Every structure is written in C-alpha cells, then in structure tokens.
C-alpha cells in the first residue's frame, strides 16, 4: 500500500516536472514547428475576424501553429497585457495591429527585446522596430471619399468627418487624405465637423445628430471606419435625414446599409489578404530570406449599390466568424 502511494507520488512529481518544462518552453513546438502569435486590434471587429481567417489559412498552408488574442475594446491599456501574455508564451514571431502609434512602442520593444520579431498589420507604430508593415492604401481611401462626395454634391456644400480614435495610423491617414483632397481640388466644399467617436457607433450617432442640428444644411459625411459610418448612418436615418454618406469597410452592417441606400459607397479593404501576406513575410524570416521582407500596401476596392453584387467586389466583403 505504502509502495503504491510512493509510486503515485513519484508519477505526480515527474508529471509536474514535465509540465513545468513544457511551460518553460512556451508554445514553441518540440518538433521545430514555428508558432506565430497574432494580436488583433479589436477581437470583435469583422475586419480583424476576416484578417484572422487569412492568417489562419496561410499558417495552415505553410505548417505553422497559430495563437490569437485581441482586446474587446480599442484601447492600448487592454492590448498591452495581451502582448505581455503572448511574450510569456514564447512564439517565434508576432503579427500585431497596434492600437496606438506611440503608446504601443514600449510594449512592442519588449517583444523585440525578448527575441521575438514583430510584423505590424493594418495599423502601425511611430518607431521602426518591426520587420515590415502590411496595410491598405489609407490615404487613397480618404481621397476617394472626397472625390466621391464632391461628385455627388456638385463640388459644393458642408461636409463632416467622423473619425474614431486619436493616434491610429490608418484612420488618421484616411482623414488626412480626405482633407488634403478637398483643400486641393474643391474650394467650395467646407468641413464643418471633424470629431472622434472612439470606435463606438452610438457615440457617432449622437455626435452627427448634434452636428446636423447645428448645420441643418450639412450635405455629406465621411465615416473613417465601420463603427463611425454605421453610427452616422443610424443617427441620421433615425432623424429622417438622408444625405450622402461615404463609408469605410465591408462588415455585414455596412453592406446592409449600402443595399438599403443609407450608405452610398464604401472602401472595401482586403483584411484576409493583409493577414496572409503577413504570414508570407514571416516565412521569409524563418527561411533566412530577409531580402524578400518588405512593406506591402494592399489596394482598396470601392463598393456602391450598383456594383455590390459583382463577385469581383463582393468576394472581399468581411466575415463574422
């Protein structure tokens, strides 16, 4: 009896030793399989859910293990601990959409210091400590919004920008592209509001209602991402205001509003392609082909009610899971 207990104890101690050893090795597989950590900007956002699909598919194709996590709010104080937990899991490389261009520098420096190379996707940081950045042409998206609204409004009238958060490289670039294009080409168009909704559609709805109260002759709006534009669309629609809205992204809610004619046009990004390209870049790093690692800017597609059923357009619409 006593012998059995001692033997049992020994098994427990040995098992403990092995699991400790496994924990010490992090997620790195014993057979040499590479592990990639993917940290999303916002785990509930269809843009990053679609990107995760692209990352997963390319990892499956190239034989990499994938671990994924992301904050449930666009907030660097929530993304930072996720990055730290990922460091402890010891992946071979991290792909991340940093939620703030300055506040995420220190957390990502820690990743690099731990010997884990970083590739940024979509958003970026203001310090070149990453291997490369894979993103969309955000300036061009903003310019397209200005040209589209100008055409719809006969190049005249008051317009508003609904932005999301300060310090986000993508959305700030879209707003800049929009403002620069208006300033350069459309002197009779005036931006009467340029506010941030913090990625909350409800906040965007109440902001735009207040802007419309102040400027009843508001002629058009540019929403820089899906939360901004869905909020603007709902806010104006619920007040019976029907003016042109140029949106960004292709989530189911945006596509529904496009079909209903509440949103007039939207920039469709290619998050799956962005994710897959980032994993390709990771493979160049793992294979010692550093000369092939490069920044990539993925082209946008513009969807309108007229072309949204064209499979060449709809194939880029975002998925929800």
SS3 235: helix
Q: How far is the CB of 249 from ligand T6T (least distance, A)?
A: 5
Task: Please state, in angstroms and rounded to a whole number, the distance separating the CA atoms of residues 224 and 80.
Answer: 24
CB neighbour burial string for 228-238, b if at least 16 within 10 angstroms, e if fewer: bbbbbbbbbbe
Q: How far is the CB of 215 from ligand T6T (least distance, A)?
A: 26
Q: How far is the CB of 239 from ligand T6T (least distance, A)?
A: 24
Q: How far is the CB of 171 from ligand T6T (least distance, A)?
A: 6
Task: Give the residue with the Cβ less far from ligand T6T, 35 or 101.
Answer: 101
Locus of tokens 């709809």: 314
Task: Please state, in angstroms and rounded to a whole number, the distance separating the CA atoms of residues 161 and 163.
Answer: 6
Q: How far is the CB of 135 from ligand T6T (least distance, A)?
A: 8
Residues forming the site for ligand T6T (CB under 6 A): 41, 45, 47, 122-123, 168, 170-171, 225-227, 248-249, 269
Task: Give the residue with the Cβ less far from ligand T6T, 143 or 170.
Answer: 170
Task: Give the residue with the Cβ less far from ligand T6T, 35 or 50.
Answer: 50
Closest by CA position to 224, among listed 258, 190, 256, 201: 201
Q: For residue 273, what are its two tokens?
A: 């392609």
Q: Are 10 and 40 spatial neighbours (Cβ–Cβ below 8 Å)?
A: no
Task: Give the residue with the Cβ less far from ligand T6T, 35 or 171.
Answer: 171
Q: How far is the CB of 43 from ligand T6T (least distance, A)?
A: 11
Q: What angle do CA 150, 45, 67 make, to 5 degrees?
A: 140
215 exposure class (CB count in 10 Å sphere: 0-12, 13-18, 19+): middle
Task: Give the residue with the Cβ less far from ligand T6T, 56 or 123.
Answer: 123
Task: Give the residue with the Cβ less far from ligand T6T, 80 or 164.
Answer: 164
């Amino acid at each position: 009896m006593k012998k059995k207990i001692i033997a049992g104890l020994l098994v427990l101690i040995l098992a403990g030793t092995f699991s400790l050893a496994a924990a010490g090795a992090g997620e790195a597989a014993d057979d040499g399989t590479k592990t990639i950590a993917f940290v999303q900007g916002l785990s509930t956002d269809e843009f990053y859910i679609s990107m995760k699909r692209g990352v997963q598919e390319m990892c499956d194709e190239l034989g990499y293990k994938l671990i994924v996590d992301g904050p449930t709010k666009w907030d660097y104080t929530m993304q930072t601990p996720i990055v730290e937990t990922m460091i402890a899991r010891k992946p071979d490389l991290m792909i991340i959409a940093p939620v703030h261009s300055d506040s995420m520098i220190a957390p990502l420096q820690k990743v690099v210091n731990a010997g884990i190379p970083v590739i940024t996707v979509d958003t970026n940081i203001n310090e070149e400590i990453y291997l490369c950045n894979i993103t969309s042409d955000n300036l061009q998206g903003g310019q397209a919004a200005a040209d589209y609204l100008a055409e719809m409004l006969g190049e005249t009238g008051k317009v508003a920008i609904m932005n999301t958060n300060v310090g986000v490289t993508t959305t700030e670039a879209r707003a800049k592209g929009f403002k620069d294009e208006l300033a350069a080409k459309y002197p009779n168009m005036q931006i009467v509001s340029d506010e941030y909704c913090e990625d909350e559609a409800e906040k965007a709805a109440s902001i735009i209602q207040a802007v419309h109260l102040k400027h009843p002759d508001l002629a058009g709006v540019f929403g820089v991402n899906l939360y901004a534009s869905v909020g603007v669309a709902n806010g104006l629609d619920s007040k019976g205001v029907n003016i042109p809205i140029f949106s960004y992204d292709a989530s189911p809610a945006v596509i529904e509003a496009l079909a209903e004619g509440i949103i007039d046009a939207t920039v469709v990004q290619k998050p799956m392609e962005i994710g897959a390209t980032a994993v390709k870049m990771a493979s160049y790093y793992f294979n010692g082909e550093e000369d092939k690692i490069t920044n990539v800017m993925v082209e946008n597609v513009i969807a309108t009610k007229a072309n949204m059923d064209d499979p060449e357009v709809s194939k880029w619409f975002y998925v929800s899971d």
